[in-house]
Amino acid sequence: MDRCSRPVLVGPVVASAVVLAVAGAPTVGRAAVVTPTATLTAKFVDRQITSDQTSILTFSITNSQQNVLSRLGFQQPMPKNLDVTSYGLRKNCGSPRVTGVHLLKVSGITVAPQSICTVDVVVMPAAEGLFEVSPQKDARIRGNLVPSDGDVLRVRDARACANSVELLCALPLRPAAPQR
């Protein structure tokens, strides 16, 4: 075999071809684009309250990547009879804009690498019931957010609890479909 007919392997090109083949990319020479993502979850601080109380609803955006993620945002509808009354702390999020009462809108989120951004909102129920807030089911996302777990707030009627034995109000509500 002469010098021109032998295959010549060049390190980085072969390594790229092997990586692409393993990653399942259809064409050698094209790099698969991996977009960094962050997860969005929602959790109530006080998960059982009476109808005259408020609870804090915390949205967490977890960036486990090595890159800064910016221009993130989401819209989360609130269940019927559960309203956002005020906006609390925003931690590790840059300077997001938070608005809305029945439809919470959060935009302009920036999350540093290996960080968790939290946005707290204060919610107040207008009735007794179970109120589910689930990014996975309802949120509209902007940017590279992946909607994940939500939470359920259990609300007892304040007047009924005031006129009854306190132990009865501490018991969980009967399982029922969350209000949406």
Residue 112 has which token pair?
Answer: 């540093």
**pLDDT reported for residue 55:** 96
**pLDDT reported for residue 143:** 87
For residues 69 and 138, membership in a common domain is answered with yes
User: What is the distance between the alpha carbons of residues 158 and 127, in angstroms, rounded to a whole number?
Assistant: 9
For residues 96 and 8, membership in a common domain is answered with no
Q: Which domain holds residue 121?
A: 38-170
**pLDDT reported for residue 167:** 57
**pLDDT reported for residue 176:** 47
Cα of first residue to Cα of last residue in the chain, in angstroms, is 74
Using alpha carbons only, give the angle 12, 16, 19 rounded to the nearest 5 degrees.
140
pTM of the model: 0.73
Could you tell me if 62 and 93 are in contact, meaning their C-beta atoms sit under 8 angstroms apart?
no
For residues 47 and 127, membership in a common domain is answered with yes
Nearest 5°: phi and psi at 76?
-125, 115
**pLDDT reported for residue 76:** 96
For residues 66 and 145, membership in a common domain is answered with yes
Low-confidence stretches of the chain (pLDDT < 70) are 1-36, 164-180
Cβ neighbours of residue 168 under 8 Å, at least 6 residues apart?
A: 161
